[in-house]
Structure 1
Amino acid sequence: MKLTVNGTAHEVDAPPDMPLLWVLRDLIGLTGTKFGCGMAQCGACTVHLDGTPMRSCITPAAAAADRSVTTIEGLSADGSHPVQRAWAELDVVQCGYCQSGQIMSAVALLAANAKPSDADIDAALSGNLCRCGTYQRIRAAVHRAAELSKA
């Protein structure tokens, strides 16, 4: 099956029902997307499918065929994406395990709403769990990323 991931075409030999998460990690080698719960409850596996955030742990690989998949690695090679810059600037990460999913959800939010309120951020990222409780720093980083995106 042909998948386009981060702008690069990949021909993968995978069963159509194999979760996209495992195709990305095990067959393509992109390990930034994390396995958390395996039931689409935690958000650690969030990637974009044609620009829409989705949970790759429950998305069959076949659903991504002939569509554009973006992972955390596809935002920027050097961490220069405004959301990545804001995350680093505000030292959001504690353990870091959930952060690629948090960032991917934040990127989608800012693509749809350039100046989100706290309530907008909370709603858009409510499905992304952080065991370390960095929610205040995550919210602040989304606001900062919105500022950086304007510049």
Structure 2
Amino acid sequence: MYQNIMLFAVLVVLAMVVFRVYQSWQTEKSRKPAGAGALDSRSNSKTRAKGKRHQRKDADTQTEPYHCVTLVGDCPALKSYKNKRFLASNAPPLPVPDCTAARCNCHYTHHSDRRKPKGDRRALGRLAEEQYVLVGNEERRKTSRGRRKTDVGWASIDEWSKMS
């Protein structure tokens, strides 16, 4: 009797798991890829006929919630997007809708954070932390140089060759 009840409980749990997996599979199957609607609504038939379009990749919001991109290129249509950072999931698709170039050379530059790199976001009224510097001691918090071109303090190869 006890074995029959346990077997029935295991079968019910297994059926629930199978149903949930099937349900999520159907949801993923019916979902459109990111940016698909924006790509289809363009009126520029020249670039649409050329073939494959750029599609942005959605950021993994679990690991990098503020991953962002900037649009880089010489296209006049990018003028309104210059020096603006967009969250990767909200970035405009490439080529931008007003682009008239036969072959668009615009691309995304990726940044790990949407905020400006030099922004010190600590609270200004934190008296205990600020007392250390106010009494004449040197600031011990250092900013890291970073390894990317976009990081502050990055030296180009030409600058390194002049040092030798």
TM-score by length of 1: 0.27
TM-score by length of 2: 0.25
Greater relative contact order structure (CA < 8 Å, 6+ sep): 1
Q: Which has the larger radius of gyration?
A: 2
